[in-house]
Amino acid sequence: MKVISATSELEVAVSFFKELGLTVGLVPTMGALHNGHASLVKKCVAENDVCIVSVFVNPTQFNNANDLATYPRTLEADCKLLESLGANIAFAPTVDQIYPYPDTRQFDFTPLDKVMEGPMRPGHFNGVAQVVSRLFDITKPNRAYFGEKDFQQLAIIREMCRKYGYNDLEIVGCPIVREESGLALSSRNARLSDSQKKTAVGISKALFDSKNIKNSKNVAETKQWVIDTINAIDGMEVEYYEIVDGNTLQPISDWKETSYPVGCITVYLGDVRLIDNIKY
Ligand code: PAF
């Protein structure tokens, strides 16, 4: 596996692959890789001639300086894992390589970005679109792989492709990978103590249990039950829990409104912000 940090070097490599008629798969990441990322990389390796994994903590998608400063950075371990998974290129650029000049582009994903993470993290999805479009421009992938844990992000990236001209590229959504306990894998879990990790299991447990009560409760009652159940656990505070149409991301008030209801949650455990979701 080759580790590349210069955009121009990667562009040369990509045009060589394209001349040879090879298919290119991209897995965009911010590093601190775990088994969730590994599942994306394995799929990318299996489905493409060349697998490129980007490892870049993108400053433009952080609306909280402390979150950016404390985001785990483990490039050496990440590269070892990527090599063992059969990735061909790890692209680990500096900020200047991705943004040689400030990126002032404004994307509009209305109404997808006006709910849930949108109002809670102003500018976040614009920053994600800036970096992902930049990575697409550099790597010209045939396929790009994203986890369903970031459910809203995945919907917005699909919309970005539709609306901003990335039509030749297939976005592949991959299921959430969980620990045996049910806890959704996340790079942020690295910031949890052992006892916080046990507490965090309460999030997925409440989501799974809520599937069983869905038949006897309406949407508002189910939402409230999840919020109350998690808030009752010492140390956890729900930021939001929304049950939405999985395609439009708009909140529903009746189960009959959609055949694809998805519950999306954000919870603070201490200062660590955890997200998860469940398909009802
Ligand atoms: O999901 C992530 O890790 C990031 O938002 C992404 C897609 C790599 C863009 O920085």
pLDDT in tens, 102-146: 999 999 999 999 999 999 999 999 999 999 999 999 999 999 999
* Mutation test residue for ligand 1: of 29, 56, 125, 135, the one with most atoms within 8 Å of CB: 29
Please report, rounded to a whole number, the percentage of residues in the chain having pLDDT higher than 90: 95
Give nearest CA residue, ligand 1 atom 9: 128
* Cα-to-centroid distance, 128 and ligand 1 (Å): 6
Which two tokens mark 103? 């990126």
Q: What is the pLDDT of residue 173?
A: 98
pLDDT at 222 over 90: yes
User: What pairing do the DSSP bridges indicate for beta strands 50-55 and 24-29?
Assistant: parallel
DSSP run (H or E) holding 276: strand 272-279
214 pLDDT above the threshold of 90: no
Q: Name the residue among 85, 105, 94, 104 with its Cα closest to residue 39.
A: 85
**Mean pLDDT, to the nearest integer, of 271-277?**
96
Structural element, H or E, at residue 53: strand 50-55
Q: What is the dihedral of CA 203, 208, 211, 212, to 10 degrees?
A: -120
CA of 175 to the centre of ligand 1 (A): 16
At residue 215, the pLDDT reads 86
The pLDDT assigned to 67 comes to 87
How far is the centre of ligand 1, averaged over its atoms, from the C-alpha of 228 (Å)?
Answer: 30
Q: Is 214 exposed, middle or buried (0-12, 13-18, 19+ CB in 10 A)?
A: middle
Q: Is the CB of 150 under 6 A from ligand 1?
A: yes
Any alpha helices (H) in the chain, and if so which ranges?
Answer: 7-19, 35-47, 65-70, 75-85, 95-98, 117-120, 124-139, 151-163, 194-213, 219-231
Q: Assign 245 a pLDDT band (cuts: 50, 70, 90).
A: very high
Q: Is 92's pLDDT higher than 90?
A: yes
Q: List residues with catalytic annotation.
A: 37
Residue 153 has pLDDT above 90, yes or no: yes
Q: What is the mean pLDDT of residues 243-248?
A: 98
pLDDT of residue 211: 96
Determine the distance separating the centroid of ligand 1 and the alpha carbon of 181, expressed in angstroms: 25
The overall average pLDDT reported for the chain is 97
Q: Is 61 in the pocket of ligand 1 (CB under 6 A)?
A: yes
Please report the atom of ligand 1 found closest to the CA of residue 61: 10
pTM of the complete model:
0.96
Q: Is 131 in the pocket of ligand 1 (CB under 6 A)?
A: yes
Check if 132 has its Cβ closer than 6 Å to any atom of ligand 1. Answer: yes
Residue 183 banded pLDDT, cuts 50, 70, 90: very high
pLDDT level of residue 41 (50, 70, 90 thresholds):
very high
